[in-house]
């Protein structure tokens, strides 16, 4: 069992202040374009962060978090959830099929469904365990060969398959734009795919571009370093 980690006063203050600052920026952008801030969920990305920083966010009242790796989440979140009610945990990193059982056990939302075998495996495990996870489909909007996600031209067919044939609880789409391209183009592409498929959820935007994502209709923004500071490793945040 993990030991309780009490954040230092400085850590707790910094994380709480950063959370408030990010929330204000989301609210300002939402107000500018006449959106309700209540329609936008801030997913605090705890990947590779010291547990005391995540604990500080929990103590500040935040309850929606994202993790990239199943194994890291398994070592961190069971203990944190025992001590903090109401946590909603999102998987925002690629999911290997051999980690499906652990993912369904640990996460409430899986944002990275991107291939038939994974969709089928998730459905089987949710049926077996009796635990239903909400799902997003990850779209590789930049068509980057090294990046996970269904290609944009294949997204419509995959969405239909996940809904009609597999029966996933599908609520939206997720993307990670190429680092060297204008993110607005990718956010607009993702929004268009979602609209023509009747999906309302849009998980897009990270620490460097979440305000742009809000302007393009993001319902979930995934923010790590702007809340927790720099971390070891790279990835969504």
pLDDT digits (tens, 9 = 90+) for 93-123: 999 999 999 999 999 999 999 999 999 999 9
Provide the pLDDT for residue 235. 47
Own/partner pairs for 12-18, CB < 8 Å, 24+ apart?
12/56, 12/59, 12/60, 14/56, 14/229, 15/53, 15/56, 15/57, 15/60, 15/227, 15/228, 16/56, 16/57, 16/59, 16/60, 18/226, 18/227, 18/228, 18/229
**CA–CA separation, 11 and 113 (whole Å):** 34
Instruction: Convert the pLDDT of each residue in 118-153 to its tens digit.
Output: 999 999 999 999 999 999 999 999 999 999 999 999
Report residue 104: phi and psi, to 5°. Answer: -65, -35
Q: What is the pLDDT of residues 171-186, one digit of tens each?
A: 999 999 999 999 999 9
**Greater model confidence, 10 or 118:** 118
| pTM (two decimals) | 0.93
Please state the rounded mean pLDDT for residues 45-72.
Answer: 95
- Integer Cα distance of 59 and 12 in angstroms: 8
Residue 2 has pLDDT above 50, yes or no: no
Of the chain, the end-to-end C-alpha distance in Å amounts to 28
What gap in Å lies between CA 158 and CA 155, rounded to an integer?
5
> What percentage of the chain carries pLDDT values higher than 90?
90
Q: State how far the alpha carbon of 107 is from the alpha carbons of 68, 69, 96, 104, in Å.
A: 11, 11, 14, 6
Of 10-14, 79-83, 126-130, 178-182, the least confident: 10-14
Whether residue 34 is predicted with pLDDT greater than 80 in this model: the reply is yes
Strand-strand pairing, 169-174 and 109-113:
unpaired
Q: How high is the pLDDT of residue 7?
A: 63
Residues in Cβ contact with 141 at an 8 Å cutoff, skipping those fewer than 6 apart = 149, 152, 175, 177, 186, 189, 190
């Amino acid at each position: 069992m993990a030991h309780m980690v009490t954040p230092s006063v400085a850590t707790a203050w910094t994380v709480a202040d950063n959370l408030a600052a990010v929330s204000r920026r989301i609210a300002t952008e939402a107000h500018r374009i006449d959106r309700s801030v209540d329609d936008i969920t801030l997913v605090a990305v705890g990947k590779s962060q010291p547990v005391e920083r995540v604990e500080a966010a929990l103590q500040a009242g935040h309850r929606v978090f994202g993790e990239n790796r199943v194994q890291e989440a398994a070592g961190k979140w069971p203990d944190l959830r025992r001590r903090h009610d109401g946590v909603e945990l999102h998987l925002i990193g690629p999911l290997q099929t051999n980690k499906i059982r652990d993912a369904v056990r640990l996460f409430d939302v899986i944002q990275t469904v991107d291939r038939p075998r994974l969709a089928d495996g998730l459905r089987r495990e949710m049926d077996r365990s009796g635990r239903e996870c909400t799902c997003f489909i990850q779209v590789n909007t930049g068509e980057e060969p090294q990046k996970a996600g269904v290609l944009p031209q294949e997204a419509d067919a995959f969405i239909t398959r996940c809904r009609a044939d597999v029966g996933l609880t599908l609520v939206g789409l997720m993307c990670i734009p190429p680092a060297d391209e204008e993110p607005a183009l990718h956010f607009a592409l993702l929004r268009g795919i979602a609209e023509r498929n009747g999906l309302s959820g849009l998980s897009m935007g990270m620490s460097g571009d979440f305000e742009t994502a809000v302007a393009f209709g993001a319902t979930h923004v995934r923010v790590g370093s702007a809340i927790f500071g720099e971390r070891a490793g790279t990835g969504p945040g």
